[in-house]
């Protein structure tokens, strides 16, 4: 997995709350394979609206997205994360995220940065007036624009995973002896649970 340390990039404001994963990528595009890419379908139906921020020239090439509360709730579709990444985004800043979306994001090197609602409003406001690049420093949990800075939070385990680019499967396979020991005991103690 690609590591995430710092990022300075154009940030696109998406001043909406409750952007669920059905909005991020509608269900009818989920039969595509990862090799075919999902970027073209990011916010497919929302993009049809006039003045959708991501369609504006000022935010072309954006790698950061700033949204309101409960971003990525709903369906567990990991394609929502694939669509954001394939489009070129590496970080979403919002006051809160759907749990499954956030886990999927971290597993793919996309940073879900939780900022205070007031700070998100301040960032959205700044982005309305100019498209200055935004910097995100994961080690310091800091978001900054020229002359201004805000903090953000992320679970420390997830922060470390993103910083190191850890892969869970490799980590788990290194624990195979412990898993085997658990299985041997579990088959005896909870035989009823096995098929």
Partner 1 sequence: MASQTGDTLFEKIWRTHEILRRPDGMSLLWIDRHYLHEGSFNAFDLVARRAARVRHPELCVAVADHYVPTRHRDPARTEPSILEMMTRLASNTKAHAIRLSDWQHPAQGILHVVGPERGLTLPGLTVVCGDSHTSTHGALGAIGFGIGASEVAHVLMTQTLWQKPPRLLRVTINGALGPWIAAKDMALAVIARLGADGGRGHAIEYAGVAVRALSMEARLTLCNLSIECGARCGMVAPDETTFSYLRGRPCVPTDFEQACDLWRMLPSGPAATFDLEVSLDAADIAPTVTWGTSPEDALPITATIPDPARMEDAGRAAHARDAIAYMGLRAGQSLTEVTIDRVFIGSCTNSRIEDLRLAAAVLAGRRAVVPGLVSPGSAQIRHHAEQEGLDQIFLQAGLEWGQPGCSMCVGMNGDIVSPGERCASTTNRNFRGRQGPGARTHLMSPAMAAAAAVTGHLTDARPMLAGRA
Measured from the CB atom, is 119 or 132 closer to partner 1? 119
Q: DSSP letter string over 122-174?
A: HHHHHHHH----EEEETTTTEEEETTEEEE-B--HHHHHHHHHT--HHHHHHT
Q: Which stretch binds partner 1 (CB under 8 A): 3-11, 54-62, 101-109, 122-130?
A: 101-109
- How many residues bind partner 1, per CB under 8 A? 54
Distance CA 159, CA 138 (A): 7
Q: Which of residues 29-58 bind partner 1 (CB under 8 A)?
A: 30-31, 33-34, 45
Q: Which of residues 153-182 bind partner 1 (CB under 8 A)?
A: 155-157, 160, 168-169, 171-173, 175, 178-179, 182
Among 103, 122, 141, 145, binds partner 1 (CB under 8 A): 103
Least Å distance, CB 122 to partner 1, is 15
Q: DSSP letter string over 55-110?
A: GSGGGTT--EEEE-SSBT-S---THHHHHHHHHT--EEEES-B-HHHHHHHHHTT-
- Judged on CB neighbours under 10 Å (0-12, 13-18, 19+), 92 is buried
Measured from the CB atom, is 7 or 103 closer to partner 1? 103
Q: Which phi-psi region, left, alpha or beta, contains residue 74 (left: φ > 0; alpha: ψ -120 to 50)?
A: left
Among 37, 54, 55, 74, binds partner 1 (CB under 8 A): 74
Binding site for partner 1 (CB under 8 A): 16-18, 20, 22-23, 26-28, 30-31, 33-34, 45, 68-70, 73-79, 81, 96, 98-100, 103-104, 107-108, 155-157, 160, 168-169, 171-173, 175, 178-179, 182-183, 186, 190-195
């Amino acid at each position: 997995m690609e590591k995430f340390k710092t990022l300075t990039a154009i940030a696109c404001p998406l001043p909406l709350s409750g952007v669920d994963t059905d909005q991020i990528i509608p269900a009818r595009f989920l039969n595509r394979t990862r090799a075919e890419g999902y970027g073209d379908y990011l916010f497919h139906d929302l993009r049809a609206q006039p003045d959708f921020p991501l369609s504006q020239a000022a935010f072309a090439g954006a790698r950061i997205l700033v949204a309101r509360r409960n971003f990525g709730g709903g369906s567990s579709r990991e394609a929502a994360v694939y669509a954001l990444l394939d489009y070129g985004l590496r970080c979403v800043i919002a006051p809160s995220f759907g749990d499954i979306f956030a886990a999927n994001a971290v597993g793919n090197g996309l940073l879900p940065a939780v900022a205070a609602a007031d700070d998100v409003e301040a960032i959205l406001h700044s982005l309305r007036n100019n498209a200055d690049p935004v910097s995100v420093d994961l080690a310091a949990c800091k978001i900054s624009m020229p002359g201004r800075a805000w903090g953000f939070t992320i679970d420390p385990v997830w922060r470390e995973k993103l910083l190191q680019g850890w892969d869970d499967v490799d980590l788990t396979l290194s624990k195979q002896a412990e898993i085997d020991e658990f299985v041997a005991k579990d088959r005896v103690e909870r035989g009823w649970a096995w098929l």
